[in-house]
Amino acid sequence: MHVAELAFLLRNNGCQVQAFCAPQSRLTTRLQDQAIEPKVFRPHGYIDPCGIWSLFRAFRKDPVDVVHVHYSKDLWSLIPALQLLPDNRRPAVVLSKHIGTQKRKTDLFHRRLYARVARVIAISRVIERNILQTHPVQPQQVVVLHHGIDTDRFQRSETVRNRKRAELGLAASEILIGTIGRLESGKGHLEFLAMAEQLASEFDQVRFVMIGEATRGEEFRAEPILEKARTLNLADRLQLLGFRDDVPELLSAMDIFAFPSHAEAFGLVLIEAMAASLPVVSSRCDGVLDIVQEGKNGLLVPPHDSAALTQAVRSLVVDPELRSTMGKNSRKIAEHHFSTKRMMTELLQLYHQCLAEAAL
C-alpha cells in the first residue's frame, strides 16, 4: 500500500493530492479511510481511447503540477492524455519502478512514452541498473529513492515486548527468531524451516515464528510450506501466525529477524525489523544489499542456502552481545537512511527539480 501511504504523507506535507485508482480496490478503501476520495482509473489494455479521454478531462478540469505513476503500463493512457493539454498545462511525469523487467522496452513507442517522463525512481540500486538496461532513458533521468517508514511506529518498547511475548507463551530466557512474508517458496520459508529444525535440535531456548499468508487466489503456493511445517517435530517451538496487523508489536517480541528471500527488489520488512532494533540475517541478493551492512547490522548468506542461514542465525543465538550491538546499529541505520522524513524530503526535492526543468 505504498501509494496510499505516499498520498497521506504528501497531504501532510502541504501538497494537494489527487489519487487515481481502480474502483472497489483495497487502495480505494485505504484512501477513503484517510478522507482522500480517489478518482476512477482502470485502463482496458494498452490502447484505451476511453481511458485517455477520461484522464484528459480530469486534468483539464483540475490541473496538477506533477503526476506520479506507480505502474509503467499506465503511461500508455497517461502520456497521450497529457499531450492533448496545452503545453503550459502539462504536468511533470514521475514514474516509480518497484520491480525489474526482463523485457527490453526500446522500441519507438516506448521511446516516445519515456521521452515525456521527467524522472524514473528506482527503489533500489538493482532496479536502477535494470531500468538503464531495459528502458529508453538517460542516466540523468533515473534516481534511486529508497522507501521510508515511520520509525517511531516500530520503536522497541519493553512493555509491549513483554506483553506480546506473554501472548505468544514465551519465557524471558527464550530467543524468538522470526520471519515475515507471503507464504510462497520464493520468500525462503522452506530454508527458514530447515534452519528452525536444526537449531531446535541444538538449543532448548530457541523459538520460531512465521508471519504472513498466501496471496489471495494463490493458496496453492503456500501448501508445500505448510506441509513441511506439519512434518517437522517442532511441537510448540514453531508458531504460524498468518496475516497480522500488529507487526510492530510482534517485531518487538523477536530477538533475531531472518529474511531468506530468493530475490527482492528492496525488502521493506527488513527496515521495519531494523527500526525495531533487531539484528537481521538475510539472503545476499538484489535490493537487500542497499539495506543490510554486513557485520554491522546483520549477516548475509547466499540465497537457497539453508546451511549458511543456519550458521548465521546460530552465531547470533550464542552471542547476546553481538545481537545487542547489531540491533542498536539496525535502529540507527533505519532512522538515518530509511525514515519517511528522509524519503519525503528527497521526493519533494525531486518534484521541485522536475518543475524547475519544465519551466526552462
Beta strands in 234-354 (DSSP E): 238-242, 256-259, 280-283, 298-301
Instruction: Name the phi and psi angles at 310, rounded to 5.
Output: -60, -45
273 with 157, same domain: the answer is yes
- The answer to whether position 82 is within a domain reads yes
Q: What is the pLDDT of residues 129-145, one digit of tens each?
A: 999 999 999 999 999 99
- Is the pTM above the cut of 0.85? yes
Q: What is the pLDDT of residue 39?
A: 85
Which residue did the predictor score with more confidence, 271 or 214? 271
- The answer to whether position 32 is within a domain reads no
State the CATH number of the domain containing residue 112: 3.40.50.2000
- The answer to whether position 29 is within a domain reads no
187 with 78, same domain: the answer is no
124 with 166, same domain: the answer is no
Q: What is the pLDDT of residue 34?
A: 80
Q: What is the pLDDT of residue 1?
A: 65
How far apart, in whole angstroms, are the C-alpha atoms of residue 224 and residue 226? 6
250 with 199, same domain: the answer is yes
- Length of the chain (residues): 360
295 with 202, same domain: the answer is yes
Q: Does 28 have pLDDT greater than 90?
A: no
Residues 6+ apart with CB under 8 A from 274: 280, 291, 297, 330, 331, 333, 334, 338
69 with 165, same domain: the answer is no
Q: Does 43 have pLDDT greater than 80?
A: no
99 with 129, same domain: the answer is yes
Q: Does 276 have pLDDT greater than 70?
A: yes
Q: What is the pLDDT of residue 26?
A: 81
pLDDT, mean of residues 10-25: 88
- The answer to whether position 210 is within a domain reads yes
Count the domains in the chain.
2
- The answer to whether position 326 is within a domain reads yes
- The answer to whether position 34 is within a domain reads no
Q: Does 281 have pLDDT greater than 90?
A: yes
Q: Does 343 have pLDDT greater than 70?
A: yes
Q: What is the pLDDT of residue 17?
A: 92
Which residue did the predictor score with more confidence, 85 or 44? 85
Q: What is the pLDDT of residue 31?
A: 84
203 with 253, same domain: the answer is yes
Q: What is the pLDDT of residues 92-125, one digit of tens each?
A: 999 999 999 989 998 999 999 999 999 999 999 9
99 with 197, same domain: the answer is no
Tell how strand 66-69 and strand 39-40 pair up: unpaired
179 with 292, same domain: the answer is yes
pLDDT, mean of residues 73-78: 94
pLDDT, mean of residues 284-311: 96
Q: What is the pLDDT of residue 33?
A: 81
89 with 237, same domain: the answer is no
pLDDT, mean of residues 195-215: 96
Q: Mean pLDDT, the chain, as a whole number?
A: 94
Cell 477513503 maps to which residue? 32
Provide the CA 176 distance to its chain's centre, in angstroms: 23
306 with 348, same domain: the answer is no
Q: What is the pLDDT of residues 166-185, one digit of tens each?
A: 999 999 999 999 999 999 99
How many alpha carbons fall within 13 Å on the CB side of residue 87?
3
Full residue range of the structural domain in which residue 85 is found: 43-148+340-359
What percent of the chain is predicted at pLDDT more than 90?
83
